[in-house]
Every structure is written in structure tokens, then in C-alpha cells.
Amino acid sequence: MAVAGVPAADTGTTVVVGCRNRCQRIVLEDSAVPAGRIKKIIPDRGFGFVRADDGNEVFFHRTELTTVDFDALQEGEQVTFDIIESPKGPRARNLQRVG
């Protein structure tokens, strides 16, 4: 799992994230960047979902995109992304097109 703001680490490295009011410990299982396909885009609400290659669905919001234009994304498009933890669960950010 890639964690925003944390450099790539060896397998099994424990990092602490989100230490404002609540700290969370995350064990990095590997340093591979998650990949998947855009499952659904809700353009009028500015968000969508990515289905990761492991089968999990991850929410993303247009404000978390830095290298791609939200309006140019298409359902079914292959992407890589970082996963961050939010109060509502995992979130994808820094989506990048593959190929």
C-alpha cells in the first residue's frame, strides 16, 4: 500500500500517519503502487471510484488529483494511485494514467 507523504519502504515497515487528533499505524506490505481501473465517475458531484486490481473499490475526489484532469477521466481507464486513510476510510489520490 502506498501512503501519501511516506517514502517507499521495505516490506513490513510500520509508519505512523494522521497524527493530529488520532494516530494510525499502518504496516506497509509492499512498496508497489496500487493499480486499477476507473469504475464509476459522478461528474456533477466531482468524485468517482477506482476498482483496484485486488478487487477493492476506492473513492476519489477531484480535489485529490494533481497530474490528471478530472473532466478528462473515463470509466474503464487504467490508472495507478496512492491510497490515503480518511475518516471515512481509504481514499485514492494522485491518480495517473497507465500507458
H, E, C per residue of 56-73: CEEEEEHHHCCCCCHHHC
Give the structural domain span for 57.
33-97
In this prediction the pTM is 0.67
Total of domains in the chain: 1
Distance CA 82, CA 71 (A): 20
17 vs 90: which has the higher pLDDT: 90
The proportion of the chain whose per-residue pLDDT surpasses 90, expressed as a percent, equals 61
CATH of the domain at 73: 2.40.50.140
Establish if 2 belongs to a structural domain: no
Give pLDDT tens digits for 12-21.
Answer: 444 444 455 5
Domain annotation covers residue 19: no
Q: What is the pLDDT of residues 57-78, one digit of tens each?
A: 999 999 999 889 999 999 999 9
Contacts of 44 (CB under 8 A, 6+ apart): none
CB atoms within 10 A of CB 90: 15
